[in-house]
Every structure is written in structure tokens, then in C-alpha cells.
Structure 1
Amino acid sequence: MSAPVHEEDRAGGPPAPPRGFRAALARLAGAQKSAKGAPAYSRFVNRRLGRFLAAASYTAGLTPNQVTGISACFTFAGVALIALAAPAPWVGIAVCLALVVGYAFDSADGQLARLRGGGSPAGEYLDHMVDSLKISALHGAVLISFYRFFDLDHAAYLLIPLGFTVVAAVMFFGMILKDLLARAHRARTGTAVPPAAAPSTLRSLLVVPTDYGLLCASFLLLGWPKVFLPVYALIFAGNLLFLLAASVKWFREVGALGRPEGGA
């Protein structure tokens, strides 16, 4: 899921537009958003894939909204396969590739917006609407696949994708709302954006269970239901534990926004 894009490169006035793929790629290499808090796949793999796709999209004359549309096409093709096709090794490979490419284009749309001078409210709205749809539709498709194709010992296993839908939606909304409230507070008080902390590789590895890229990769196992189900359940458990801990932290951070400086 891509983060909001607001800032423009203003150093010395608007930079000259890059010419060609290599120039665009070089510009993007120095215009990356902070990697703070990003899990390992998203940080080290997906963002780099998105950089190449953003440069290629720029060279092809695509807009960020068009790239968001391409991302949605790949992602929802994968989601449809999960729900409609019986689990098989080829299905797992096809789903994984569709989701991985869709996720890379999801990173590319924000990078392309920065390359073109900054994003727009409409583009941010479209990006987040697609993200919110995909995180619910993906787990809904897994629920359908479990019900139609999996030989489940207990119907209670159906609660796993149902619970994952709730956790993913709440986590996404919580992150977006926290960012929105912080931006509104800074705009109201004139507070400067705090400098981004140095990203931690250890933290990126520790939060891997919450990485959407890991979830995409897990569908390689879809052809082996008895392996896929416990792996999917473990990823769900990791996301649930993270959400419980993060919700407390986010609540404290949002609570501090309305507190006078130096207050308890």
C-alpha cells in the first residue's frame, strides 16, 4: 500500500523534467520517501520494482492514475483467480505473480507522482480507495476458496480469512487516520514536519508478518492447501498481534497531538 504524496522537489525551483528512462530512474533514486517502519519486502524489493516501473511509466507518458489502474487490474485478476479457480500449483504461481506485479505498480504510482512534481488529492483518494478495496477483497476471495475448494476439518477455519479481513481493514484505516490527524494538527498549529528517523533494518525484519509482499508470496503455496492454510493462519496471527500493539501506540501518539507542549 503506497503512502500519501504531498511534497515537491523545490530545491532551486522546479527541476528540469528528466529525459529518458535512465534519467528518470536516477531522479527517483534520490527522491524516495522515508523507509521508516516499512517491512522488509516492501522496503528492499517492492520499492525498487516500483522505481523501475515508475521510470518506465514516465517514459511511456502514463499518468499516476493510469498506473493505479494498471495496479488494480493485476491485483484484482489475482483476487478473482483465488475465488474462482481450484487450488493448483499453476494457480498459486499465477496469483502470486499477479499480486506481486500489482503491488509493484502500487508503489510506482506514488513515485511517478513525485517524479512529475507532486501528487494530487484526487490521485491520493483513488490510490487509497483501490488499496482499501483490495485488502478486503483479497481475504474475501480466500474465504470463498476455503469454502469451495478446501477439505476443512472444521468450519471454524473459515473464521481465519474473515478475521484477516477485519484486521487488515482496521490496520489500514488506523494508519491513514493517524497520518490525517497529524497533518491536520500541523496545519492548524503551524508545527513543522518532524525529521524522519533513520530506518532500522532489524525493525523491517521484525514486522515482516505484516508485509503485504509476504502475503503475496504466500500464494505460491496455494496449490498445496494443507501447507497454505497454516502459513496463511500464521501471517494472520502476526498481523493481529501487530495491530493490537500498534493500536495502543497510535492512540498515545494521537492523544499527544492535543496536549500542550511540556504537558503530562
Structure 2
Amino acid sequence: MSTSDSTASYGDIVRRLAGAQKVSLPGSPPYSIYVNRKAGRLIAAWAYRAGLTPNAVTAISAVLTFAGILSIALIPPAAWSGLLVWLLLALGYAFDSADGQVARLRGGGSPAGEWLDHVVDCAKLSSLHIAVAIAMFRWFALPPAWLLLPLLYAIVAAVTFFGMILNDLLRDARGGQRTREPGRRALAHTILILPTDYGILCLVFLLLGWPMLFTIAYGLFFIANLGALAFALPRWFAQMKQLGKEVR
């Protein structure tokens, strides 16, 4: 697809995007693949027809996402504020999926665009949990030790994101292939990684109006993400060692 397709109808562009969608590896995060990618497709078709560049879509994603993050830290927790936070984070995530799809419609992305996308993602993942720490300090009647929960979560999120990005970078640089899980293992993997899916984490903020429920759910997500990272790190390291042997 290229800029010459800009006169195509909205429905035609959506269908073209669906046909040109990236192949999902078995065991991929379900919300990100089956909900967010489809939402991003609808946004990408609109953005393309509106003449927006991929970087402009990334900027919209950042504005929505960081508005949601600031809302966590600045607005007293209530049912309506939790709904607002979820809506802003979910829309920001959908626009995050749309920028790459707009790039494909315009004939391909650029290193600068990919760099910008990853930097925004990195800032988002770290600041989200710092905002939770601020909210807990300001609004939650919890012992101070509980503030370690979101701070540790920020570390886990940053290491996980960096590890995944570095895995892809090293594989691409050395001509390696991404591993595919067999059918049953892929299904089990999909279920196990549900709490690591950013889109599922966004849903937890619907509980902000009930601080104790939110803290319990958020804590369970942290434990699940910590466990997933502890499982993934030695596996990733083994894959990198194997990659090193293959390219010799």
C-alpha cells in the first residue's frame, strides 16, 4: 500500500489492513492480538484517510496514555476516575497499535518512527507504576511498605520490555528466527501470560474506586508478571546462546 491509496473508502482500507496484518506467533498476548490490533486497524484507516503520519498517531497515543497516567496520580480514586483512566489507557494502546499499521499503508515504516514508538512505550511502562505509587501514597490508607509494590512492578515491567526488544533486535541482526510453540503449549502459554498483557492490566484500573480491591488485583498482577519474568529470563538467555552458535 502507498499514499496513492488515499482515495480508497474507509471500509476498503480496513479490509486491506486485515489482509496485510502481521502473522501472530502462537501463544501471543490475546488482548493485544484479538482486541487491540483490531481497534488499531479501525483507527489506522481513519488516520490514513485524514492524512496523519505514523509519528502523529504515536503522538496521539502518547497524549492519551500520559493523560491516563497523570489521572492516576492526580485524581482521587473513584469509580468514575477508574473508568476515565481505563478509557484513556485503552485508547492510547489502540493508537499505539495503529501507528505501525498507518506506516504499512504509507509504504513502510522508518527507523526513526520505530525508535519513537519504543521510547514512548518504555516511558509509559515505567511511569504507569510510578503513578500508582503516587496514588497509593496520596489516597490509599496503606502502610508505607506497600509503596514498594508499584516500584518493584516498574522494575519488572522495564526489564521485561527491554528483554523482549533486545531479543528481537539480536535475532533480526543475526538472521535468527522467532520460536513457535506447539499447539497445546501455545494455548497454555496464552493463558499463563494473560496478566502480562498490557491491555488486561489496563482493566485493573476500573477498580480504582475500591482501593483495597485494586491493590489486591494489582498485587496479583505483579506476582504473575514477576513469575513470568523469572521463567522467561533463563529461557531467553538459552535462546541467545543458541543463536550465537547458529551464526558462527
Q: Indicate whether the TM-score tops 0.5.
A: yes
Deviations 1:122-172 (A, max 9, x none): 0000000000000011000000000111000x2221111000000000000
For the residues of structure 1 that align with 2:66 and 2:99, how far apart are their CA atoms? 17
Aligned match of 1:28: 17
Tell me how far 1:196 sits from its aligned partner.
6.6
Aligned match of 1:52: 42
TM-score (norm 2): 0.92
Aligned match of 1:251: 237
Tell me how far 1:260 sits from its aligned partner.
4.3
Aligned match of 2:5: 17
More helix by share: 2
Aligned match of 1:170: 159
Deviations 1:187-214 (A, max 9, x none): xxxx6x5697788454323210101011
The 3-state SS of whatever aligns with 1:17 is: helix
Deviations 1:106-128 (A, max 9, x none): 00001111122111000000000
Q: Would you say how many aligned residue pairs link Structure 1 and Structure 2?
A: 244
8 Å CA contact 1:40–1:201 kept in 2: the answer is: no
1:232 aligns with 2:221: no
8 Å CA contact 1:78–1:94 kept in 2: the answer is: yes
Alignment of 1:105-254 (within 5 A): 105-152=95-142, 154-186=143-175, 200-254=186-240
Amino acid at match of 2:148: L
8 Å CA contact 2:3–2:106 kept in 1: the answer is: no
For the residues of structure 2 that align with 1:38 and 1:28, how far apart are their CA atoms? 19
Over 3 Å counting, the alpha-carbon distance change for 1:38 and 1:116 in structure 2 is same
The 3-state SS of whatever aligns with 2:174 is: helix
Aligned match of 1:75: 65
Tell me how far 1:31 sits from its aligned partner.
1.3
For the residues of structure 2 that align with 1:206 and 1:163, how far apart are their CA atoms? 20
Over 3 Å counting, the alpha-carbon distance change for 1:250 and 1:194 in structure 2 is closer
Over 3 Å counting, the alpha-carbon distance change for 1:201 and 1:33 in structure 2 is farther
For the residues of structure 1 that align with 2:161 and 2:242, how far apart are their CA atoms? 21
8 Å CA contact 2:171–2:178 kept in 1: the answer is: no
TM-score (norm 1): 0.87
Amino acid at match of 1:176: I
For the residues of structure 1 that align with 2:210 and 2:178, how far apart are their CA atoms? 47
For the residues of structure 1 that align with 2:180 and 2:107, how far apart are their CA atoms? 21
CA RMSD of aligned residues (A): 2.1
Give unmatched runs, 5+ long, in structure 2. none
Amino acid at match of 2:65: T
8 Å CA contact 1:34–1:196 kept in 2: the answer is: no
Tell me how far 1:72 sits from its aligned partner.
0.4
For the residues of structure 1 that align with 2:150 and 2:19, how far apart are their CA atoms? 39
- Of residues 98, 103, 113, the one that matches 2:93 is 103
Over 3 Å counting, the alpha-carbon distance change for 1:39 and 1:260 in structure 2 is closer
